Chains A and B, each alone.
Chain A
Amino acid sequence: MLDWFKRNRVPLLLGCLLLTAMLLYSANLRYHPKTTLFEKIVLQVTAPLHEGLDWVLTSFARGWHRYVWLMETEKEDERLRIENRRLQSALEEVEEIRLSNRRLRDLLDFKERMDLPAVPAQVIAEDVTSWFRTVMIDKGAADGIQEGMPVVAAQGVVGRIIKIGEHQARVLLVTDASSAVSALIQRTRTRGIVRGQGEAMIMEFALRLEDVAVGDRVVTSGTGGVFPKGLPAGTVKRVEKGDFGLFQSVEIEPLVDFSRLEEVMVLLEGIP
């Protein structure tokens, strides 16, 4: 018997490992809204490394860019080129500040309109896979953020907090396929559930006989327990009504440009 175990110890070990992985996944499926200790530790340990490496790479990219640029200037009048570069860089900086200022002003206006306690945050990383739509923000438990809190941008709904570290948090975007937001068509008050589909979203369970038209604005209904009522979620892009069935198919274009998401606001109290 012992010989058999010794002979088959590698397949047995691998089998045990596979079983453990399956059990862990299965257990986490049940309790997934909670951030596990393992995740908290990894986030805590890697946060300074991430920041450091980001700084190194950004500096390297900047230095490399400058080197390439300088190589080109050899062919032309150096003084004019350097002057031109300095002015261009100053202009770009001003433009960047102007854009950032506008985004922050929009966000501030939005915060004042919302009249809810909120924490501004910067998007620092995206999801590492192509399948899921999540982003990492630079605020965490130390800033009063908790799992389930809604995240918004000046244009509208962004998503909700699903994982938190001490100084970082992960946001599940509304475009993720596992995200569902209770919403309604602003014009006709038709209710439905908005689900993510990667780039776009669809509204499920909108009754077929209800009036929904292309261009209609979709807002949160406030009944899902996460988002406050009236937050803009998107506009209707396409409506498909079959001859049969209870519901119609409504495709929604998000108002927030998720590929350029930089500043967001975490609402500390979801439903007022």
Chain B
Amino acid sequence: MTRVAGFLLIGWFFLFLQAGPVARSLPDGLKPDLLLLLVVFLGLRESPVRGAVLALLLGYLMDVFAAVTLGLNGLVMLILFLAVRTTADRVNTESPMLMVLMAGVGTLFAGLVQAFLLGYFAGQEGLWTMVIRGLPAQVGMNMGTALILLGAGRWIERRLRPDLVRLGLWPRKRLL
């Protein structure tokens, strides 16, 4: 339960960053999808049921701060989680660079799912073409952000892990 609450809190913090400081400091219409990176991470490291529930909740949380229809990002994040979870058993999830690669593939996959849902479910043609057009830039942005986050995460693990574990702010098991 603490783990679920922790991930939800991280998700909310990521959303706050995306809606405020990050959005203000980047060119209009291009921002890293931090929540998507979190879901990819969940797909590689979490158990199927807990991860799926978390992905769905994080997606719904994202829906409140984005778009028009509640449920779109919830569904996209759940599908993304299931896709990553299915492939996680076949790859070396310990490899840090895999996360960067998965961030790129995950962005592409989530973008295509979103375009499909917008085009065929919601009938919003203008939107799905915009999503497809913006995908290459978004893939690059998310991979770059994943690389930075990975670097920051590994630095924290190397330098601060024992203290954070003692304070109960970091899991005992190595994360990255």
Contacts and interface: CB of A to CB of B under 8 A. Distances in A.
B75 interface: yes
A32 B64 CA distance: 12
27 contacts: A14-B82, A18-B82, A25-B71, A25-B121, A29-B122, A32-B68, A38-B64, A39-B64, A50-B16, A53-B13, A54-B16, A54-B20, A125-B20, A126-B23, A127-B65, A128-B18, A128-B65, A130-B31, A130-B138, A131-B114, A131-B134, A134-B66, A134-B67, A178-B127, A197-B126, A259-B27, A259-B28
Interface of A: 10, 13-14, 17-18, 21-22, 24-29, 32, 36, 38-39, 42-43, 46, 49-50, 53-54, 57, 124-134, 136, 162-163, 172, 176-178, 195-199, 258-259
A52 to B, nearest CB: 10
Contacts of A176: 127
B94 to A, nearest CB: 23
Given A14-B48, A14-B52, A32 B29 contact: no
Given A126-B24, A128-B66, A163-B64, 18 more contacts: A21-B56, A21-B75, A24-B70, A24-B75, A25-B72, A50-B16, A124-B20, A126-B23, A127-B19, A129-B67, A131-B131, A131-B134, A132-B66, A133-B29, A176-B127, A198-B29, A198-B134, A259-B27
A25 B62 contact: no
Interface of B: 12-13, 15-16, 18-21, 23-24, 27-31, 33, 35, 48-49, 52-53, 56, 59-75, 78-79, 82, 114, 117, 121-122, 124, 126-127, 129-131, 134, 138, 141
Contacts, number: 147
Contacts of A27: 71
B146 to A, nearest CB: 15
B48 A25 contact: no
A130 B33 contact: yes
Contact of B19 (A57, A125, A197): A125
A39 B70 contact: yes
A172 B68 contact: yes
Contact of A178 (B61, B63, B124): B124
A54 B61 CA distance: 18
Contact of A28 (B66, B70, B126): B70
B9 to A, nearest CB: 10
Contacts of B129: 177
A13 B49 CA distance: 7
Given A129-B66, A131-B114, A14 B71 contact: no
Contacts of B121: 25-26, 29
Contacts of B12: 46, 49
Nearest to A11: B48
B49 A14 contact: yes
Contacts of B31: 128-130
A22 B141 CA distance: 28
A50 B17 CA distance: 10
B121 to A, nearest CB: 7
Contacts of A132: 66-68, 127
Contacts of A42: 61, 64
B153 to A, nearest CB: 20
A-B pairs, 5 with minimum CB distance? A25-B71, A177-B126, A125-B19, A126-B23, A177-B127
